[in-house]
């Protein structure tokens, strides 16, 4: 229950608390508190003041995602302004201040829409949200600090997948400032993720998602990232979740994230997202995580720690490990690295990418993805990575079409 100090709160509490079959779990002080309580998974219904500050479509979507059904207490149930606001935030169950005798009844009978736990979206009232096509998958690219090549990996994987004829959405969700737009030579000032966050806040993301994407070629859509690192405050986890859910309706999704998994508990609700909320939200929704580490000693120790952190923090989406910038001068073999990675985590596969400054520079200077700037050993290794991540996209070798896939090395682990 969350009333934000409204006058009806104590009467509502007394009436509910005395009702058979109703347990008032918590009287929440504000929307932040309410959303955190919903996340605990113990609540079935939220009784909210419709006018409570911060109760916006994204907050209600968060409740529904955790299967918490909202009942709003309002001044009048026949006031058009009230009804418009209720519709905007997507709450159908309304009880008037002066009719609290019916509150317990409303709480025990409020419709539990069976499929609200996932993919619910305010804004498409009345029509069911289009079901996410099950074969679309969400792959999140993550890696510890030290610029191991997360962005290069996300951009190249998305670009190769699109080149294979699959509709693909690349989302830059790095809270420390996006690099995807630069790598793809997208120069306009409009940030896809900021406009998606604004649309999510106003409840219009469903119908206007496409306006947040930039097309690159026929099959690749790009949601560009934060133009400056300090704008992370504008993107809440719920907004990113909705963006990714929309993206999944368009195609396979590849997400570039930040390096840190540090969480500030309780910060990620209401108006104050936590710094790493975007990274954590993406990882929570991932079907598969690609962890990128550098092959040098510092990079490998970060990779080892990162794998442990990831295992502790996330719900166990399968992990694929990419060791980037392999070079003979480092003096260790793939087998030695495989032994180390195996010791830290069970992974789907371990992939090695060669250090190839010439190829990455060519792409960076051209402002194009690697696959568009000519063949290289690095590109062949990425091709093998995409074969493994989307086996269904790996067509039988057609002469002249595919680059020599055997050159990409992959080692199964665990
Ligand atoms: N295999 C490679 N060979 C040579 N250079 C590479 C390779 N992979 C990435 N790089 C280069 O390393 C630099 C960092 O890569 P990238 O921006 O992809 O890293 P990141 O992990 O996203 O870093 P950040 O923390 O800045 O987001 C870039 O200049 C990129 O071109
Ligand atoms: Mg990056």
pLDDT digits over 316-348, tens only? 789 999 999 999 999 989 999 998 888 777 788
What's the pTM value of the predicted model, to 2 decimals? Answer: 0.70
pLDDT of residue 109: 86
Give the residue extent of every domain in the chain: 9-109, 138-411
State whether the beta carbon of 325 lies less than 6 angstroms from ligand 1. Answer: yes
pLDDT of the residue at 30? 83
Model pLDDT, residue 408: 43
Pairing verdict, β 410-411 and 349-354? antiparallel
Q: What single string gives the DSSP state of each residue in 49-98?
A: ETT-TT--HHHHHHHHHTTPEEEEEES-TT-HHHHHHHHHHT--EEEEGG
User: Domain 9-109 is classified in which CATH homologous superfamily?
Assistant: Response regulator (3.40.50.2300)
Measured in Å, residue 406 CA sits from the centre of ligand 2 at: 28
Alpha-carbon distance of 251 to 190, in angstroms, equals 22
For the CA of 324, the closest atom of ligand 1 is 1
Query: In degrees to the nearest 10, what's the CA dihedral of 76, 82, 84, 90?
Result: -90
Q: Does residue 7 sit in helix, strand or coil?
A: coil
Taking residue 177's Cβ as centre, other Cβ atoms within 10 Å add up to: 16
Of residues 4 and 388, the one with the higher pLDDT is 388
Q: What is the CATH number of domain 138-411?
A: 3.40.50.300
**How far, in Å, is the centroid of ligand 2 from the Cα of 413?**
26
Please state the separation of Cα 283 from the chain's center in Å.
Answer: 6
Closest CA to 234 of 197, 202, 208: 197
Nearest-CA residue for ligand 1 atom 15 is 149
- State both tokens at 189: 């000032």
Q: Measured from the CA of 148, which atom of ligand 1 is nearest?
A: 21
Nearest residue by C-alpha to atom 24 in ligand 1: 147
Atom of ligand 1 nearest to the CA of 154: 18
What does DSSP say about strands 349-354 and 319-326: parallel, antiparallel, or unpaired?
A: parallel
State residue 400's pLDDT score.
Answer: 43
Tell me, yes or no, if the two domains 9-109 and 138-411 fold the same way: yes
Tens-digit pLDDT profile for residues 134-143: 589 999 999 9
Contact call for residues 125 and 87 (beta carbons, < 8 A): yes
- Read off the pLDDT band of 127 (50, 70, 90): very low
Of 140, 151, 353, 408, the residue with max ligand 1 atoms within 8 A of its CB, to mutate for a pocket test, comes to: 151
Is 142 close to ligand 1, i.e. is its CB under 6 Å away?
A: no
Contact 219 CB / ligand 1 (< 6 Å):
no
Asked whether residue 121 carries a pLDDT value surpassing 50, the answer given is no
Measured between alpha carbons, how far is 369 from 222 in angstroms, rounded to an integer? 12
Distances (CA, A) of 383 to 153, 243, 360, 367, 395: 11, 27, 15, 20, 12
Identity of the highest mean pLDDT range in 198-212, 269-283, 314-328, 331-345: 198-212
Sheet of strand 93-96: strand arrangement: 45-49, 69-74, 93-96
CA distance 299 to 126: 51
**Atom of ligand 1 lying closest to residue 364 CA:** 31
Q: Compute the average pLDDT of residues 203-219.
A: 96
Tokens at residue 313, please? 């923090």
413 has a pLDDT exceeding 80: no
Does residue 296 have its Cβ closer than 6 Å to ligand 1? Answer: no
**Res 212: pLDDT:** 97
- The finding on whether 323 has its CB within 6 A of some atom of ligand 1 is no
Q: Which ligand is in closest contact with the Cα of 362?
A: 1
């Amino acid at each position: 229950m969350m009333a934000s100090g409204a006058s009806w709160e104590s009467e509502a509490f007394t009436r509910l608390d005395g009702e058979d079959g109703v347990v008032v779990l918590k009287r929440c002080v504000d929307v932040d508190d309410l959303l955190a309580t919903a996340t605990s998974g113990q609540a079935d219904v939220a009784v909210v003041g419709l006018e409570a500050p911060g109760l916006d479509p994204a907050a209600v979507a968060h409740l529904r995602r955790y299967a918490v059904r909202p009942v709003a207490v309002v001044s009048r149930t026949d006031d058009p302004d009230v009804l418009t606001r209720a519709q905007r935030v997507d709450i159908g169950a309304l009880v008037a201040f002066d009719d609290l005798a019916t509150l317990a009844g409303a709480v025990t009978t409020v419709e539990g829409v069976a499929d609200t736990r996932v993919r619910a979206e305010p804004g498409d009232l009345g029509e069911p949200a289009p079901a996410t096509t099950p074969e679309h998958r969400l792959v999140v690219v993550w890696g510890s600090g030290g610029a191991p090549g997360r962005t290069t990996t996300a951009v190249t994987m998305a670009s190769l997948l699109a080149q294979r004829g699959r509709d693909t959405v690349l989302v830059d969700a790095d809270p420390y400032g996006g690099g995807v737009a630069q790598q793809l030579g997208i120069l306009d000032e409009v940030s896809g993720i900021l406009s998606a966050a604004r649309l999510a806040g106003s409840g219009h993301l469903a119908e206007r998602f496409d306006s947040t994407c930039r097309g690159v070629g026929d099959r690749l859509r790009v949601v560009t990232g934060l133009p400056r690192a300090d704008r992370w405050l504008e993107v809440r986890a719920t907004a990113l979740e909705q963006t990714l859910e929309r993206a999944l309706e368009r195609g396979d999704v590849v997400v570039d994230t930040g390096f840190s998994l540090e969480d500030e508990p309780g910060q990620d609700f209401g108006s104050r997202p936590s710094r790493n909320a975007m990274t954590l939200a993406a990882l929570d929704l991932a079907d598969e995580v690609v962890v990128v580490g550098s092959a040098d000693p510092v990079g490998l120790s970060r990779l080892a720690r990162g794998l442990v952190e990831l295992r502790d923090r996330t719900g166990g989406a399968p992990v694929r490990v990419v060791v980037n910038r392999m070079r003979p001068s480092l003096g260790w073999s793939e087998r030695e690295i495989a032994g180390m990675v195996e010791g830290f985590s069970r992974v789907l596969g371990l992939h090695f990418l060669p250090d190839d400054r010439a190829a990455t520079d060519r792409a960076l200077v051209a402002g194009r993805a690697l696959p568009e700037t000519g063949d290289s050993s690095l590109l062949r290794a990425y091709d093998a990575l995409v074969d493994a991540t989307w086996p269904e996209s790996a067509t039988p070798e057609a002469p002249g079409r595919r680059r020599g896939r055997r050159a990409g090395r992959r080692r199964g682990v665990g």
